Amino acid sequence: MRYFFLAFILSVTVVVSVFGFRGHRFTDPPAEIFNDMDQQAKVKYQAESAFFADGLGARQPVAGTLPVGYEIPEKPLAGEGSRGAIEFSLPGDYYHTGRYGEYYGDGMPEGLTVDAALLKRGQERFAIYCAICHGQSGNGQGTLKQFMPVLIANLHDPQFSDKANAQYRPDGEFFEVISKGRGQMGPYGANINVHDRWAIIAYVRALQESSRKAAPPAPPAAETPAAPGTSPDGAAAPAN
């Protein structure tokens, strides 16, 4: 027992000597056993660096560098109603908001043609951003559904695909949900540019149309047998 107390006192002395009492201020840098990447050999933004001849840590991109997937417009966007290859959102018109005033619009914006190139682009963007939840076919059975008990929209349900349905979501509402999110779905307005949002919508509509064409025809309604003493058209049968 005596050796235990001696070892305990020695341990406390070593700890206090190395780390000090709680609240004690040191003038020397602290001893770090695991620095958790507090000190990193890197150049921070807008910082000086003696490594480069000009003393600047931040380097200019190579001449002619373009952001991946985009191109520089020939002239600056003029505001509402303007369109460019790198736009994400501008206020006002249907192309940028999905709305006409306070109401959602339906159909593609004027000047945007639904062709093979647009559908291919929509398919690519859908596979990247949407299929993880909604599934490759848009049926709501994506990879996420296999691991999390979440309610994911089936884009083939009548409220998304049937214009006669009272809860039908028009194209403009699709656009707004992609841009701003809704419910458990987060916003993608900062990730998907405006043109690609419409490409995704066009592709979803193509998926819905394909699903309708592939669906088996509804079986004919069963005929109700005529009551005794009546003809098939409901008229009374002539007496013998």
- Domains in the chain (CATH in brackets) are 124-214 (1.10.760.10)
Q: Are 137 and 128 in contact (CB under 8 A)?
A: no
Confidence of residue 38 (pLDDT cuts 50, 70, 90): confident
- Report pLDDT digits (tens) over 172-223: 999 999 999 998 899 999 899 999 999 999 999 999 999 888 767 666 766 6
For residue 20, pLDDT beyond 70 = no
Q: Is 196 helix (H, G, I), strand (E, B) or coil?
A: helix
Counts of helices then strands in the chain (DSSP H, E): 8, 2
Distance (Å, whole) CA 123 – CA 203: 6
d(CA 154, CA 126): 14
H-run or E-run covering 99? strand 99-100
Structure pTM? Answer: 0.60
Q: What is the reported pLDDT for 35?
A: 74
